[in-house]
Amino acid sequence: MSTFGIMASDAPSVAATGGVLNINVGIMGHVDAGKTSLVRALSTELSTASLDKHPQSQERGITLDLGFSAFATEAPKQVTDAGFSHLQFTLVDCPGHASLIRTIIGGAQIIDMMILVIDIVKGIQTQTAECLVIGEIATDNMIVVLNKVDMLPVDGRAAAIERISGKIRKVLQSTKFAHAPFVVMSAAAGGGGKMGAAAPLAPADGGGGKRQDASVGDLVALMRERVAVPRRDAGGPFLFAVDHCFPIKGQGTVLTGTVLSGSCRVNDAVELPEVGQERKIKSMQMFRKPVTRLSQGDRAGICVPGLESSLLERGIACTPGAGEVEAAAEGAGG
């Protein structure tokens, strides 16, 4: 079977083995805070939409759409106690530009954890505050990355970090993230776009609030420490948030996205409400591994035949009729 090219991973998939927990991590922050550099430093597996592959993103030097990538890591005790043998982090790189707030909100629907990236030189900015509002709705679990610490002068750097961290902590006091841990680091030391970390600054403060001698490895360790096993419900209608689609010659059109609710299997029928069409699932893959079943929280690609890929870039694939139910519920709630 040909691969979709969604993501690669040596770890087995949830659907294939029942042993992998996938955690969706929203990477949010103001434009040019260094979100994509952080994702690049963390990621080992890239999706069809990651690291600003969008031509306009490359031209303008900013993220314009949701990007997806991943890395696998050893499962911590709270994950193994829940019956999982592996832990997979799927990183959702959200754009930081104000005009793309709707795209950010779309990404927020699927996150289990949030990393708020702040340019330590500039501090809290307009979109930083907006991301905090979205984060309060989407998750209880947030880590703050104070990025670009290498841009602070070496002389007096530790004092500057203390001063800036204090200001940011005061802003967080009015939110649910008052006690969110800080990681002070440089995702791309010198702005070179490669993985790097700041020179050692000072030991951790002992209270878990700030980590001043941090690297990408320290951030991963903190993410593992703070993972909470989310409640996954395979019941109810299947809802699949489509973020990208592309054709595969001789196969059909691949819809990449995240399962918001329910589950599906190969040969199930799915409805595409935006284009008014219904198709059967021909095949599915998670991280380039064929699977026969998907359930809530899974990041995957679904291949359907006979769909013109240009008709749908973002939308919903769902159990036939579920789209109308969701629309009616939203209308009643509004």
Q: What is the CATH number of the domain that holds 328?
A: 2.40.30.10
pLDDT in tens, 152-183: 988 889 999 999 999 999 999 999 999 999 99
Q: For residues 117 and 203, which has the higher predicted lDDT (pLDDT)? A: 117
The CA-atom distances, in angstroms, between 40 and each of 21, 69, 141, 195, 212 are 22, 9, 22, 7, 21
Average pLDDT of the residues in 35-48: 82
Classify residue 10 by its DSSP letter.
Answer: S
pLDDT surpassing 90 at residue 264: yes
What confidence score (pLDDT) does residue 323 get?
Answer: 62
Domain count, the chain: 2
Burial (0-12, 13-18, 19+ Cβ within 10 Å), 130: middle
Q: How confident is the model at residue 298 (pLDDT cuts 50, 70, 90)?
A: confident
Cα separation of 326 and 17, whole Å? Answer: 31
Nearest to 100 by CA among 59, 131, 132, 74: 131
Do 58 and 20 reside in the same domain of the chain?
yes
**Where in 49-181 does DSSP place strands (E)?**
67-74, 86-93, 113-119, 142-147
Do 212 and 261 reside in the same domain of the chain?
no
- State which residues form the domain around 95: 14-226
Q: How confident is the model at residue 295 (pLDDT cuts 50, 70, 90)?
A: confident
Average pLDDT of the residues in 312-330: 71
pLDDT in tens, 85-128: 889 898 888 764 444 344 444 445 678 999 999 999 999 998 89
Residue 95, φ and ψ in degrees, nearest 5: -65, 150
Do 195 and 150 reside in the same domain of the chain?
yes
| Residue 8 within a domain | no
Cα separation of 169 and 93, whole Å? Answer: 24
Last residue of a domain, one of 196, 226, 256: 226
Do 133 and 245 reside in the same domain of the chain?
no
Average pLDDT of the residues in 300-308: 93
Do 173 and 310 reside in the same domain of the chain?
no
Q: CA quadruple 5, 7, 8, 10: dihedral positive or negative?
A: negative
| Residue 4 within a domain | no
| Residue 234 within a domain | no
